[in-house]
Each structure stands twice: as C-alpha cells, then as structure tokens.
Amino acid sequence: MNYDNATLAAKLHTMSELLSDVKKAVALRAQESDLALAEQIITEPAQLGQQLNQRRKELDIDLATLELQTGVSASTLKRLFKDPDQVKFGTVFRVAEALGVKLCAVV
C-alpha cells in the first residue's frame, strides 16, 4: 500500500494518540494497584491476626475444622487471631497457608 504524506501523518497521529491513551491507562492501573497494596500493608501484629480470622470467616471454616487442618489447637488459634505475637511464627505460617493467605515482604 502506498500512502501519501497526509494520510501517513494522520495514521501516525492516530497511533500516537492511542499509544498515549494506553500509557495513561497503564499508569492509572499501576496507581490503583499501589493503593490496593498500601491498604493491605500490616503495621501491627494484631492486624495480621484480624486478617487471618476474617479470611477464615470468609471461607466459612470453624475453629474445629481449622484445628484439624493445621494441627493447631483452637485455643492457640484464638490467641493467634487476637495477637499473633503470642504464637510461634511457624504456627502463623501454617494457619496462613491453610487459609490461602500468602505472607510476603515488600521492600
């Protein structure tokens, strides 16, 4: 196909506008993702316990079932949900894994 200069310039301009729109959409999505991540940052141990307990409730898992799945006693689960500082990290990790919660560090 042969394009005259005016047609080629118009097509390039249209492509440039589309690319600009895509760049804006990607930047907006990155901002939304950053905000969502910021909302999930845990600054207090009790927040982690609350999030794990909320996830347990969302999955409709009672304490007895979670106890069977993790080997962690119901009393320890209650302590974990109230204050994770009261239990070993391995226990927190096991419960998080059973609930499908990924623990990760963001640096």
CATH number at residue 52: 1.10.260
Q: What pLDDT is stored for residue 33 in this prediction?
A: 75
Residues 30 and 51 grouped into a single domain = no
In a domain, residue 36? The reply is yes
Domain count, the chain: 2
Residues 75, 62 share a domain: yes
Give me the sign of the Cα torsion angle 8, 10, 16, 18: negative
Taking phi over 0 as left and psi of -120 to 50 as alpha, with beta for the rest, 24 belongs to: alpha
pLDDT, position 9: 87
What are the tens digits of pLDDT across the range 57-100?
999 999 999 999 999 999 999 999 999 999 999 999 999 999 99
Same domain, 35 and 66: no
How far is residue 93's CA from residue 102's CA, in Å, rounded to a whole number?
9
Residue 29's domain spans which residues?
1-40
Q: Which residue reads 């905000």 in tokens?
A: 35
61 lies in the same domain as 78? yes
Let me know if residue 19 belongs to a domain: yes
